[in-house]
Structure 1
Amino acid sequence: MDKPDSDSGKEINPILKQVLELGPPIVFFLIYLRIRDDVFTFGGTEYSGFIVATLIFVPILLVAMGMLWWQTGKLSRMQIFTAFMVIFFGGLTAWFNDERFFKMKTTIVYAFFAVILGIGLLRRQSYLAYVMGEMIPMRHEGWMLLTRRLTLFFLALAVANEVVWRTMSTDAWVKIETFGFPILMFLFLWTQIVALEKYTETEDGES
């Protein structure tokens, strides 16, 4: 189980943690805005600004994750998986010179999370509680409700990403990927925590 930063023996400034986690996507967004209309030639092959921005984003993400690991002594399973997907699909994007691979990455990540949580639900377990149980003390019923809702939410995001990248411009996808989906995720989790407050437990074990 992933433990809080304090259990790892290393503490990190919350602001620095947010910068390392949220900074790389914002940097990608800014780089994309700067070079989106440019065309770059490497080895006789032309690459769009989007693809070059994607290639720049990969090492930026790795450096940020390395700093996060150095500061906290750990990385979450979600962070490791997301980094792998960024590297893998970023590589496919460059290799095939096709921006669709990087856009599909988001769909696959959300769908993967939905499948994993769904498998737990079929086993009458909440894998979400396994990851976040120490941070949010909540009874089993509450975790099962949150897991079911989050599974459906991840599926909705996966479908939404497919609709966005297949029907909208690259500019629209970058903006929604960078800001839209994270904001929706934050709002969803916040409303669920409030709605499921009755299932939370106090230090003495009472709800």
Structure 2
Amino acid sequence: MSEIKPINPILKQVLELGPTILFFLIYLKIKEDVFVIGGTEYSGFIVAALVFVPILLVAMAILWRLTGQLSRMQVFTAFMVIFFGGLTAWFNDERFFKMKTSIVYGLFSVLLGIGLLRGQSYLAYVMNEMMPMREEGWMILTRRLCAMFALLAVANEVVWRSMSTDAWVKIETFGFPVVLMAFLMWQFTTLQDHLITEEPDEEA
């Protein structure tokens, strides 16, 4: 396994969150415009979604260059963005880019659920090195996060099917990430008793 190189935490956050923020800002700038590319008219939303793809790839390339590693979740998310961004452009239909979020959250929920049915926590496999925790704690967190991803997938379906594109972009950019981050912080707080900490050296 390649060694993870240290990186400034602020720079790491900029590289991870920056592309989404840029997508939001670009969308706000061009949302009312119509662009003609190859004789086909594209809305500002679709153009912003397409510009988001190379921005995300550049940010991931820089992150990989600086740290020497990308998480499986980052690679999977990038693949989904490229795939659904391509479908959005090919069919000139913004619904593909909007439903991407539902599918990503839904697949995360399904994968965690498969692990639970097998009596395993796939979450522990991905995150145990970053946050050592007893098996019972991982199983609890996996069950809760499986349910949370399923809820977010359903919520995204409700939002993009019943609300305006403006509302979806704002909720996609800020709402879902904030909800997920707050949920994770709450879980880590409630699971403190399951964390594995180094025992003090009695001979020291």
Choose which of 125, 130, 133 in structure 2 pairs with 1:130: 125
Q: 2:173 aligns with which of 162, 166, 178?
A: 178
Find the partner of 2:34 among 35, 39, 48.
39
- Report matched runs for 1:10-159 at 5 Å: 10-159=5-154
Write the letter of the residue equivalent to 2:35.
Answer: F
AA of the residue aligned to 2:89 = A
Partner Cα distance (1:102, 1:132) in 2: 28
CA deviation digits over 1:29-51, x for unaligned, max 9?
Answer: 00000000000111211100000
Gaps of 5+ in 2: none
Q: How many residues are treated as equivalent by the alignment?
A: 200
Cα shift at 1:9: 4.9
Alpha-carbon deviation of 1:181? 0.4
State the identity %: 74
* Segments ≥4 residues shifted beyond 3 Å: none
Q: Whole-Å Cα distance in 1 between the matches of residues 129 and 60 of structure 2?
A: 22
Cα RMSD between the aligned structures? 1.2
Residues in 1 aligned to 2:160 and 2:31: alpha-carbon distance in whole angstroms? 16
Hey, what's the Cα distance between the residues in 2 that align with 1:34 and 1:45?
21
Alpha-carbon separation, structure 1, partners of 2:115 and 2:72:
16
Which amino acid counterpart does residue 104 of structure 1 have in structure 2?
M
TM-score (norm: length of structure 1): 0.94
Q: What is the TM-score with the length of structure 2 in the denominator?
A: 0.96
